[in-house]
Chain A
Amino acid sequence: MLSNVVEWLWPGASFGLANQLAQLWFGFTLLLWLAAACYSVTFIKRQVGFYWLFFIVAMSGNLLLIVAQDVLGFYLGFALMSLSAYALVIHSGSSQARRAGRLYLQLAIVGELLLFAAIVLRVHESDGNLALAELTMDSIQPLTLLLLLLGFGLKAGFFPLHVWLPQAHPAAPAPASAVLSGAMIKAGLFGLWVFVPASAVVVQQWAVVLLVLGLCSALFGAVIALWHQQSKVVLAYSSVSQMGYMLMALAIVWLSTGDARVMAATVLVGYACHHAFLKAALFLGAGACSSYRLQRFHWLAIGWCLFTLVALPLSSGAAVKYGLKQGLMAQQSSPVWLAEWLYGLLSVGALTTALLALHLWCLLRQQQMATHSQSMPAVSGWMNSGWLILVVASISMPFAVISTQPFWWASISLSAVWASSWPVLAAVLLFLIVRQIGWILPERWRDPQSRFVWLSLRAKRLYQTQSRAEWQVRWPGWRSLERQINQGLQRAELLSTAAVVLSSVMLILWLLH
């Protein structure tokens, strides 16, 4: 653990990794960026300089916000990451990418500003203290909390702040989507975790709402994903869904006390780590699927990732889902009936996730079939190595990360295995039935267009109005009046007028006297 103040940077600048969980967060983020970088080496073919420039800036931003121990450093990292990601989103230069990029940037700026306001308010609440460690001790105003939730939520992308996510992820190149979905959106969550004081009364009240919101997000994302036919869109919605689970985990952290809170925090970080690896690996796979010839072991890797996604036993998913359920039941602050309902609905969530996974598998297979030919290039060594890092990390995560080990062990108990498997089995059954009937989604329901792209265009027109002249005074016809006066003055009777004026003045003076 290291933490030191750097005097010569911005006011209050200090860096360090406060605890083991932060170290873990830093570790998986770094690993993810490394993997994406490896993958990018051969995957990125146009505008290579730009890509790497912004890739590196975004990466440093992302890492900086984790190591920063002061508010300004955090904000700096966050902003660097958000804004340079824009360049990654629009990298392909297609009109779709630009549209998505516009929406992304608009929301990123809005989020940035809201976040700025939130941070200012937060620092003001804690007497101008710039150290992050001292922020968590204080109470928080509802407005500040709201702003924090909006600001970070726009980045984290849970329902209903997810609108940019299904647009931006498909538009970006695969490794960029991987880091976007794996690391960057987690930064929003990380921010909430760091900035919100768990024990404050307001937070306790709002956390229950967030718990419900998280589940909504989880179900919504998974269900909407089924409507879509593009693998990367499906993955994006899956991220929305998974962020919902993580939001629940965060809410549980806030709601629990003592040891339970420590456990919940472990679950949160574990979940983030688990999702980071698997989602990044899936994005890489989806990217490769459309233009490269995949080998059998690639499909194996994709299969494993989906396996982990649906949280089947032995995977890291099972461990963290188990932890989530435990945490949900262990916390005392929310009403018991709510916890039980949510517990039940988590199984529904698992079912929808499983359906999503099956849908995705089919899509990927179709994609490879549709474009498959011998002329397609093989996946290069650089790409393979990036992929390999992620899959290995995903497999080994429950063992490598000491703090999540107990959950893994617990998740292979018989009851846990059953609890995690039956929704999947049900989903498979449902899937098979649907297949058997031959029911397919009607054409008009497929790929619903987001209204938000249109709204973003409207917003753009709003601020790109044409110039209008400022208000100016116009004197109507005063020149002719002036000319008349001048002519009058020039006449010969001028002198007599002057004399009259003079004598009248004298008269007045006389009278005054």
Chain B
Amino acid sequence: MDFNSWLPLLIVLSSLIPGLLIFTLAEHRTLLRTCLNLSGVVIKLLLVVWMWLGVKAGEDYFFQLPFLPGGPFILHGDALSLQFVMLSSVLWLATTVYAIGYLENSPLRSRFFGYFSLCVSATVGLALSGNLVTFVLFYELLTLATFPLVVHRGTPQSLRAGRRYLAYTISGGVLLLMGAALLHSVAGSPVFMPGGYLSAQLDTQSMALIVAFVLLIAGLGVKAALLPLHGWLPEAMVAPAPVSALLHAVAVVKAGAFGIVRVVYDVFGVEVMQQLDLTWPLVVLASSTILYGSWRALQQQDIKRRLAYSTVSQVSYVTLGVAMLGPVAAIGGLVHLVHQGVMKITLFFCAGNYAETLGIHKVHELNGVGRRMPLSSVAFSLGALGMIGIPPTAGMVSKWYLSMGALEAGFPWVLGVLLMSSALNAAYFLPLLYRIWCLPAAEWPEERRLSDRFETHWMLLLPPVLTGALIVLMGVLAGTDISPLSWTELIVEREFGYVE
């Protein structure tokens, strides 16, 4: 085995090993812990960039280990997995910096950062999974690694949220396991391949395939917060802000959406999906989730809760784009995977900043905060505008491709759904911006002085400012070679053989 085949494993281990080491550290060893954390982050990022360049040049990264009978443990770096790996690694960097600032002087940091690293390892492993069995493995591990983070505060409220989180995700995990077992018994667990590997079973086992699809989507839909399965996400917002960021942007929700992408394109494949007529139910489901999430978000008076419902809605854009099965729609969906991540993480960072610095949790407490915390508020505004899809933010780019894709794939009504959703997005985000910028300031609920020079601790401020800048850059510079859009076009080119 040469270096290329070890690289995927190294990428997973680069956060796993620091994570395990961190568990053993005593609470007061802040410096060592921070060094371990950051070195893990940086090494991972370097490795990922290396792999990114390699995949771009057409290299193949393949790691295999015997695991289940007939279902080996495979890590495979292809264009699609790199999209997710890149997103997680970059945002993990931001979140780690943020979390170090956020948890300064709070107890149980070793536990927190240990699980934090495990969580990212599981996410990256999930992204690099080369077959369904490996995917299921990491999917479950992700659930386990995230749970301690969700309940980290240990208050009755967060324990309740944790119970709910587990109830949903474990059930989803079992469904996914069932589905994977069914597919394994039908067709084994070969490597994910563009176009799927089930066309041979299409004629003889169509019923089994449909059942498997339903099980898999139900299992993945829990994490992706599809409509009847979304209940855990708004509850889980009681977690600390970096965890919410992780849940909503880097790891959990994205893992579900990414899984749907894998299942649709690389397990079933476009042709089988069309033959089995599985497209429209998924499109309808995603559309209703989009509208329902936005509608619920309108009614929330808690900022993080509102953001959580917004995630419910926005993540389904990914599902929607993927489900429509057209190349342009796929570009829209896949690029939104990245764009939504960056935008939502910015919003959660800022919400966390408001809560940490001024004790702001409710919408009506936001009045006039723009003057007190201008940088955070600018970042928040950019994120919000991106969610609505106002140019020149990244959200506009994904919305554009989704809409074009909807027309191209023959779902013109989806355009209406997207418009409705944008209108609702505007209806629940713009009042926040109005309060932030246009209303006079009142008393803050609980002000803490975290920095003399900046509006808040610099580690809390830097990540949202950077991701906020990214939101605009990803929109304005969408045509460059290193933009998510270009990478997504590469993926779609390799999946569909489609060149724009």
Contact = CB atoms under 8 A, between A and B. Distances in A.
Nearest to B388: A109
Contacts of B438: 90, 93, 98
Interface in B162-178: none
A464 B431 contact: yes
B70 interface: no
B392 A10 contact: yes
Nearest to B475: A10
Interface string A10-46: 1111000000000000000000000000000000000
Interface in B367-413: 389-392, 396-397, 399-400, 403-404, 407-408
B279 interface: no
Given A109-B423, A467-B299, A13 B404 contact: no
Contacts of A120: 400, 403-404, 407, 415
B325 interface: no
A9 B419 contact: no
Contact of A76 (B302, B392, B415, B428): B392
B390 A83 contact: yes
A124 B408 CA distance: 7
Interface string B9-29: 000000000000000000000
Interface string A151-184: 0000000000000000000000000000000000
Interface string B103-125: 00000000000000000000000
Interface string B291-305: 000001011111001
Interface in B405-446: 407-408, 415-416, 419, 422-424, 426-428, 430-431, 438
A128 B499 CA distance: 13
Contact of B301 (A80, A110, A116, A466): A466
A463 interface: yes
Contact of B391 (A79, A109, A466, A467): A79
Interface stretch (B61-69, B78-86, B209-217, B476-484): B476-484
B485 interface: yes
Contacts of A6: 479
Contacts of B407: 120-121, 124
Interface in A54-79: 72, 75-76, 79
A180 to B, nearest CB: 18
Interface string B452-494: 0000000000000000000000011111100001000000000
Contact of A124 (B391, B404, B427): B404
B472 to A, nearest CB: 11
Given A110-B423, A466-B301, A468-B299, A11 B478 contact: yes
A113 B408 CA distance: 19
B231 interface: yes
A470 interface: yes
Contact of B299 (A7, A93, A465): A465
Nearest to A77: B391
Contact of B404 (A123, A468, A470): A123
A76 B480 contact: no
A246 interface: no
A475 interface: no
Contact of A10 (B426, B428, B431, B479): B479
A464 B480 CA distance: 40
A510 interface: no
A350 interface: no
A241 B346 CA distance: 45
A329 interface: no
A109 B404 contact: no
B144 to A, nearest CB: 26
A468 B476 CA distance: 39
A268 interface: no
Contacts of B300: 467
A109 B422 CA distance: 9
A105 interface: yes
Nearest to B426: A109
A11 B423 contact: no
Contacts of A114: 419
Contacts of B427: 463
Nearest to A467: B299
Contacts of A410: none
A195 to B, nearest CB: 16
A297 interface: no
A8 interface: yes
B419 A117 contact: yes
Q: From DSSP, what is the main secondary structure of chain B's interface residues?
A: helix
Contacts of A465: 298-299
Contact of B430 (A12, A105, A113, A466): A105
B430 A116 contact: no
Contacts of B302: 467
B486 to A, nearest CB: 9
B430 A109 contact: yes
B428 A463 contact: yes
A80 B426 contact: no
Given A113-B422, A117-B419, A470-B231, A10 B476 contact: yes
Nearest to B296: A470
Interface string A458-479: 0000011111101000000000
Nearest to A112: B390
Q: Which of A10, A105, A116, A121 has the most CB of B within 10 A?
A: A10
A466 B298 CA distance: 8
Contact of A13 (B298, B389, B419, B479): B479
Given A9-B476, A75-B391, A464-B431, A117 B299 contact: no
B430 A80 contact: no
Contact of B479 (A7, A83, A110, A124): A7
Interface in B288-341: 296, 298-302, 305, 328
A499 B300 CA distance: 58
A72 B391 contact: yes
Contacts of B396: 76
A128 B430 contact: no
B231 A8 contact: no
Nearest to B480: A8
B479 A80 contact: no
A255 to B, nearest CB: 30
Contact of B485 (A11, A109, A112): A11
A114 B422 CA distance: 11
A222 B192 CA distance: 68
B15 to A, nearest CB: 33
Contacts of B422: 113, 116
A160 B267 CA distance: 53
Contacts of B231: 470
Tell me which of A79, A93, A123 has the highest count of chain B C-beta atoms within 10 A of its own C-beta: A79
Contacts of B485: 11
A98 B435 CA distance: 12
Nearest to A113: B419
Contacts of B305: 467
Contact of A80 (B391, B416, B478, B480): B391
A329 B397 CA distance: 45
A407 B448 CA distance: 69
B299 A8 contact: no
A13 B223 CA distance: 37
A105 B428 CA distance: 13
A79 B400 contact: no
A124 B246 CA distance: 37
Given A80-B391, A467-B300, A116 B479 contact: no
Contacts of B424: 463
Given A8-B479, A72-B400, A113-B423, A463 B298 contact: yes
13 contacts: A8-B480, A9-B478, A11-B485, A105-B430, A109-B430, A116-B403, A117-B415, A117-B416, A121-B415, A128-B408, A465-B299, A466-B301, A467-B305
Sorted from nearest, which 5 A-B pairs have the closest CB atoms? A463-B427, A76-B391, A124-B407, A120-B403, A467-B299
Given A8-B477, A10-B392, A128-B404, 13 more contacts: A8-B479, A9-B478, A11-B485, A76-B396, A80-B391, A90-B438, A110-B423, A113-B423, A116-B403, A120-B404, A121-B407, A464-B431, A468-B299
